[in-house]
Structure 1
Amino acid sequence: MSRLLMLAVLSAAPAIAQEAPEGEPGAPPTRVRSVLLYGDDTCPKAEGPDEVVVCAKAGESPYRIPKSLRKTEPGPGGTSWVRRAELVDEVNRQVLPGSCSPIGSYGQSGCTIRMLQQWKAEQRAKKEEEAAIPGGDDD
């Protein structure tokens, strides 16, 4: 029985919520106008009794970014994807093979490569130094 009563109340709700005819008190406005105010602007008056004007302060100028949004700290959100990828490569390069690092896979192989490159540079410098010495031929 209570279900039947609830069903009757719910079906009558749309009829109860119908709008009153225009000109009667309690009738909703036919026009709503939203206005953003900048600086010392004042809110305009409604043009008629069936209009509502909603005003909001938007800041000092329509052409400036609000002060609260002007200064942002650089963070990961403002970093380009290219720079993010470069940072990841820089960090991961320390643990890749050939890095001369005690951590990561084959990090020690980089130490051997670096040592051989240094030896080769020393040998090259020694040959250039010997070639720069004039021949010791005294005839």
Structure 2
Amino acid sequence: MTRPSLAIAIALATLSSVPAQAADPPKTTTTTTVFGNDPCPKPRGDEIIVCAREPEGERYRIPKQFRTKPREESGGSASWASRVAGLEDAQRFTRPNSCTAIGSNGQTGCTQAMIRQWFLERHMAKDLLP
């Protein structure tokens, strides 16, 4: 045999003796959190279990990602009274006495709207004066 054919024969003999890989990966994977010295659950059948271990003091606490309440974009630190006033202003055009053609009795609030506008302008003028 020549050298190239000998190398090919050795390579083919080595490849034929390599065992086959596992046919299918496990069908289920479970991720769980255990606390303190608790054992990880035992896998059932063809299952992979991944355990994350937390200290015992974290067992009955709210998870870290939920502990801090994110501030709202608009009015996160506003009082409830100002939030309610904002919601009322946003929906005012659909209610009676709204001075609009939308909603029931919307045409009845034009005088109240003028008075409300006058009070707002007066309040703004007081804030702007030195």
TM-score computed with the length of structure 2 as normaliser:
0.34
TM-score computed with the length of structure 1 as normaliser:
0.33
